[in-house]
Structure 1
């Protein structure tokens, strides 16, 4: 037969199976070799069904083949799987399937009856539910317990398929009757499960007493389920509570770890409101948990240790004397070692802190880098947890000289965390930290921590300004986190050692304001504009002391830990997250809790950016004036709020030095001319803020402090002090003129691309509003700096000149309106520029007006 098409192939496989089944039917089904051949054939049949092939045509051969080997239970189970799948896929044979299963429900063998009834309840074919209900009702009254077990679980399946039909036929009432009247423990356990799943279980004192009296008759699974139910029961008296605990005490020494954990949870729940009793229970529970933790099955040990960790965080005193039981063993897998390290931190107190730190110090030699890093983090966490113990900080300092770079790097990160909590320890630590070669720090976290230490404690280090200056020189090559750390550290040190940090600060702000990363650029512009507005205010903001932290930032919030404790002995413990975070699809992380409490930290270098748009001074003004006729708008007379968003310096007198140069830094205003060549930084500030500068000698005193150059007179006044903020040192950038833009455009004209956008008439007032400043800011979202724009009040046609830090130029022209406003876009750039993306970015922004 041809096998080229899907349908042809299916017919070929169906014929193959039918032929094989007919052949096996003609053989003696009592022989073991024939039975094995039938099993193999059925496995092949099921494999074809798994591949999506419709095998319903083989129904008659399958039935005949099994009829001669009814005593073979594996064969019957495979037949039932085939029948269930066929009934759902092909309604034409559904009635035949049901009749076959009904016949087996009357078989003399209870195992066959139970399996057939289980398959009947699993059909879930709406047209056959009446027949299924009748079979389940008969199964609930079957004399054999195995059939009743299957029938009870069949009620739950019927409930999911047709809840109204179950209520109408009173199936739940039958299950509730069996819960109290049936003499088989497994049937009772199944009844408990079904009633709980449908929300109809009522936990009464009589039910609890009955379950406890027969607790030893249940299987291990059923015992766990009964323990969960009894754990939710509230005893009416103290005597009743003691009776329950006494009856269930056997569970703490049970051979099954699941029963042990369920018993532990019950004991903790029933004594939670009685601290004196719970302290006694903790001793008993602790021994049971330690027995599980010392087992040989790593998976069981991990689950038990995870629950023990949750308990130890709530009651560390109970486990502190036994901290040696949680030392890592050589044969432990890495995931178990990591959990034991967490456990050691949880049980640390003043009596064992040094011994635990000594043990953790040995783990940094482990070949697993992640485990070594976790051991270092654990030592730092102990230093934060028990500061009164001497020697913990010395351990961290010893790690700085370790021969492995990742050990030094992680130690540096943790030292920064410790200094955030105990700044007084800087005198003993900073010198060792500064000796670290920053070239050996490869990751952004450790480089940011190193920079933070220099900025926060640089007054103790003679070479701190020069170390930061060297890092500023490689600003463009650093990760965004490191660049943010530099923008936080250099200004902080500047207010303590201004003369030495002036050059580094100027170069840093120039590079940061031209950065492609929005957060970095905004942070740099914020610092620059704040310095221009008020140096004293800048000192209060940029040099403000950081708040102390009380615990490592990766620790969970207390409310999260409480929720996990309440859900002990569930997956919440393994996932370290409340159940709703991985069960409810609308919430997917623990972030639903507010974990940014006192102990959470933004990062050792303060890398996080402000998120409140109403409190930010960073509404980036990415424009520069292209002609002398376009003046920066002045503050509103009488306004008490200075305009920090308009820092354009106007035409600079120094623009005539040498050939004109095109400044295309992203989001950065034109460079102010240095002192003696036009407006200096102070003069620009005065024009914008409308306030008088502070006297140079007063500023020198206010910016003085420890370190070299502190308190020295600052020759040249504020303009000289902040002269390092000139963005062109050693080659200052010059304002762009129309001639410069035209010349550059002519060079790139061969690469130009253009597009047109038609906008509604209503956008024209929005473009013209606020002297075109809002429109310029809007265009800046695509990474373009507005180099030239029409004068305030200009009428269409309107023309804008734009540029990016990658050298891409753009022209935007808005024609006089007719039925719409036609906008013509043109972009050009050097070889390798992504002009299409630039063009599409501008188009998208225009369509959003």
Structure 2
């Protein structure tokens, strides 16, 4: 299939030619025809009409041809379930073939078809293959049982296949054992219960197979052993003695799985010398992984980050291995910085500071910032090394590099919090750089230092007064610090700063629209006017000391992540249920819901199956009754008259039925009557982008305005900010002149392609190819369509994320509603577009509602919407790490609530 001639552009009538070639008596010609069919299928052409003809080619002894036909059957079985049954007899016959490769191929293919109609025919061949004399067939059958469980769990349990898999753990072939372990592990994950018996007898069998199976078989076995809980320290030591040999394996996955077993079992060992010996064995393989390619380095570093949090002594003497190389990718450098700080101690701090000082002269701004921040973390972590860290920071400040100076000031503020009244002598050096500050965080830090140590700064009032000139132009975080610092200054030197504090309090309470700033201003004003002494006790009270916990994980979370070393969660540093849909469903106990249990990659195929067009999907009586009710309801809503969306003649219109597609208003996006559009050449299109069962669907209605039949449909999207792409081929019937047809196309999203703000309103540029021409049109996209229904942000998550994003990435807008907007109406309206309420707070003059939404590519947007009680005013404050989402979110809120922006 590597020959490019099979992928050349096809011509009209090719389907008919292929049909004739597939029935040719010439075996070579038949094989060539099947290759052409597979090539057409590969590039997205619909060749499902050839299903019966291709299936007839299964009756052959040529294994290459048989593989090609099986590949075709797997791809189109869901689209042609009735015809797929025709191939069952051949599958059953091939499962008895003398060639073990054909026996395994037949069982594997039946397991991949994923149709319940096929499963009942698969049971007997599968049971027979599990006891086949050839190990290749047995190992294939083991994996097939896991595939069958995904389709019909009850059938697997009723037919005793799980017990068969347990018996196969005693097989003499190590690959059969490894595949049986893999199948049982997958079934355990799907079922939400452990079906893999991990006792001494099983462990002994797995360890015996460990040395002889392939590297990926070793990964399966090691991951299974990691779930075992040793009964005693001696049991743990004996297992680790045989596992540690895998630490020197050439495959990084095997090494990481072996490290996971060692980390898990170390907690069970009581002998101190044994623990020390095992920790020494862990160091070389971890260091070796850092000489691999950058991608493997990154994964290893993310796992090492977890390991050193649990057992820092493992790599305590290897800190040099984490020094950054000049050609390391930035993502590797960032991880190395974190680990260097974790390994920092009194013995190696001088080496680390020299390295970090060198990094601060690099050209990558983000890397430089994190290097300076790492110096501050070292100062906070190590009391005795704090002075050396500060000296390095002062040297960096003297470089007068703007972003280095500003990051150093932010770090020094934290050091002052950690060590009050110890290093104030450097404040004068900081004040010399006041004019170079232009970043909100650096400004806020410097203002905090001035206010906290105002009595030690001779011209503190002048320095603060310089910030008042641009008070209203500053970010909320800087304004809050100016307010607090001015109050501190007044409490320390009340005689000379009374006018200044009055001015700041008036600007904060009377001239500001920020509710946080106003609230704090009112609190200070009332405290100062009622009891100045009490104000001193509140504002000038001792601050609690801080520690370097910005990157530390909760112990319970860390334990679970250690259990998942070498898994995706150990790279994300998130628990599996936080990002794996299937696992989240299993933990809820919703095992009966097949739609929620299926893998993400099957989602698009399942959606197309549910929305499939054609009479083959209308055979069930219940479905037919549902469609009758839908048609009756549509007739009633339209006054009993049929609706022709494109305005064609009713007598010539035929619409392809869409069994499960939702009904949404469609807009005319390509009009043959509109001058200047390609619709003049023969096509009208109405379309709408909507959500259906948790996925995005593009619904379209096509009208043939030409004098020729339209066929050969295909679709493509232009590049767009969300990476929206067709989730499958466009399936539309051939259209005669004057006819219409509908189609529902699943759409898959991807990550944001750039940080450039997308156009508002957002549009999707679509090209549809037909036998007549290629037609181009734009489909409007509501931001709500790109939001998931299952946003699970709670109050605590909202607070943490809101604080972490910070005010630097916040946008506020003022708007007016047509009439006073009740909170309940606002909540209900935004919930309809998947913007969910997290919390609400009522005040005297306004109600504050806190909302969260998550895009399909897992980007989170947070918002605070304040509704004026005595008027129509609405304030929308939005925060998100993905800045380009903010205008889209604000436009969606304005559209849903019919708001008119005022500022």
- TM-score bracket relative to the smaller structure: 0.5 to 0.7
C-alpha distance 569-217 of structure 1, shift in aligned 2 (>3 A): same
User: How much does 1:38 deviate?
Assistant: 4.3
Q: Does 1:446 align with 2:442?
A: yes
C-alpha distance 327-590 of structure 1, shift in aligned 2 (>3 A): farther
C-alpha distance 296-271 of structure 1, shift in aligned 2 (>3 A): closer
User: How much does 1:546 deviate?
Assistant: 1.9
Q: Gaps (5+ residues) in structure 1? A: 1-11, 608-665, 668-751, 760-773, 787-799, 806-835, 843-849
Which residue of 414, 431, 435 corresponds with 1:417?
414
Q: What secondary structure sits across from 2:344 in the alignment? A: coil
Q: Does 1:365 align with 2:361?
A: yes
Q: Does 1:307 align with 2:296?
A: no
Q: What secondary structure sits across from 1:425 in the alignment? A: coil
Please tell me whether the aligned partners of residues 56 and 93 of structure 1 are also in contact (alpha carbons under 8 angstroms): no
Match of 1:493 in 2: 489
User: How much does 1:400 deviate?
Assistant: 1.5
User: How much does 1:21 deviate?
Assistant: 4.8
C-alpha distance 165-757 of structure 1, shift in aligned 2 (>3 A): closer
Match of 1:569 in 2: 566
Where does 1:189-588 land on structure 2 (aligned, <5 Å)?
189-196=178-185, 197-198=187-188, 199-273=194-268, 274=270, 276=272, 277-293=274-290, 295-389=291-385, 390-438=387-435, 440-513=436-509, 514-583=511-580, 585=584
Q: What secondary structure sits across from 1:450 in the alignment? A: helix
Q: What secondary structure sits across from 2:211 in the alignment? A: helix
Please tell me whether the aligned partners of residues 105 and 116 of structure 1 are also in contact (alpha carbons under 8 angstroms): yes
Match of 1:23 in 2: 21
Q: What secondary structure sits across from 2:574 in the alignment? A: coil
User: How much does 1:483 deviate?
Assistant: 0.9
Distance 2:12 2:530 in 1: 85
Which residue of 144, 169, 176 corresponds with 2:134?
144
C-alpha distance 161-35 of structure 1, shift in aligned 2 (>3 A): closer
C-alpha distance 565-142 of structure 1, shift in aligned 2 (>3 A): closer
Please tell me whether the aligned partners of residues 556 and 595 of structure 1 are also in contact (alpha carbons under 8 angstroms): no
Which has the larger strand fraction? 2
Which residue of 177, 180, 204 corresponds with 1:188?
177
Please tell me whether the aligned partners of residues 549 and 601 of structure 1 are also in contact (alpha carbons under 8 angstroms): no
**Cα RMSD (Å):** 3.9
User: How much does 1:578 deviate?
Assistant: 2.8
C-alpha distance 519-183 of structure 1, shift in aligned 2 (>3 A): same
Distance 1:70 1:757 in 2: 73
Per-residue CA distance 1:543-563 (angstroms, 9 max, x = gap): 323221122545444444344
User: How much does 1:453 deviate?
Assistant: 0.6
TM-score, normalised via structure 2 length: 0.62
Per-residue CA distance 1:387-425 (angstroms, 9 max, x = gap): 212422100112222232111111111111111101223
User: How much does 1:567 deviate?
Assistant: 3.1
Q: What secondary structure sits across from 2:497 in the alignment? A: helix
Distance 1:370 1:126 in 2: 53
Distance 2:475 2:78 in 1: 57
Distance 1:415 1:590 in 2: 34
TM-score, normalised via structure 1 length: 0.66
Q: Does 1:134 align with 2:142?
A: no
Please tell me whether the aligned partners of residues 18 and 33 of structure 2 are also in contact (alpha carbons under 8 angstroms): no
Please tell me whether the aligned partners of residues 145 and 187 of structure 1 are also in contact (alpha carbons under 8 angstroms): yes
Please tell me whether the aligned partners of residues 306 and 339 of structure 1 are also in contact (alpha carbons under 8 angstroms): yes
Q: Which has the higher contact order (CA 8 A, sep 6+)?
A: 1
C-alpha distance 203-801 of structure 1, shift in aligned 2 (>3 A): closer
Distance 1:484 1:477 in 2: 13
C-alpha distance 234-92 of structure 1, shift in aligned 2 (>3 A): closer
Please tell me whether the aligned partners of residues 257 and 566 of structure 2 are also in contact (alpha carbons under 8 angstroms): yes
C-alpha distance 112-319 of structure 1, shift in aligned 2 (>3 A): same
Please tell me whether the aligned partners of residues 323 and 347 of structure 1 are also in contact (alpha carbons under 8 angstroms): yes
Per-residue CA distance 1:480-502 (angstroms, 9 max, x = gap): 11111112211112111223322
Per-residue CA distance 1:4-46 (angstroms, 9 max, x = gap): xxxxxxxx99952341353365485448xx8567434412134
Where does 1:656-667 land on structure 2 (aligned, <5 Å)?
none
Distance 2:53 2:36 in 1: 15
Per-residue CA distance 1:96-152 (angstroms, 9 max, x = gap): 132333333333332222122112123332333221212212222322222222222
Distance 1:384 1:779 in 2: 41
Match of 1:161 in 2: 151
Match of 1:98 in 2: 88
Please tell me whether the aligned partners of residues 426 and 457 of structure 1 are also in contact (alpha carbons under 8 angstroms): no
User: How much does 1:214 deviate?
Assistant: 2.7
User: How much does 1:377 deviate?
Assistant: 0.8
Match of 1:636 in 2: none
Distance 1:105 1:296 in 2: 43
C-alpha distance 150-784 of structure 1, shift in aligned 2 (>3 A): closer
Which residue of 45, 52, 58 corresponds with 2:50?
58
Q: Does 1:120 align with 2:102?
A: no
C-alpha distance 123-454 of structure 1, shift in aligned 2 (>3 A): same
Distance 1:203 1:555 in 2: 33
Distance 2:157 2:420 in 1: 69
Match of 1:777 in 2: 845
Distance 1:291 1:283 in 2: 14
Which has the larger helix fraction? 1
Which residue of 162, 167, 181 corresponds with 1:177?
167
Per-residue CA distance 1:732-786 (angstroms, 9 max, x = gap): xxxxxxxxxxxxxxxxxxxx99969999xxxxxxxxxxxxxx9973599998999
C-alpha distance 207-588 of structure 1, shift in aligned 2 (>3 A): same
Match of 1:659 in 2: none
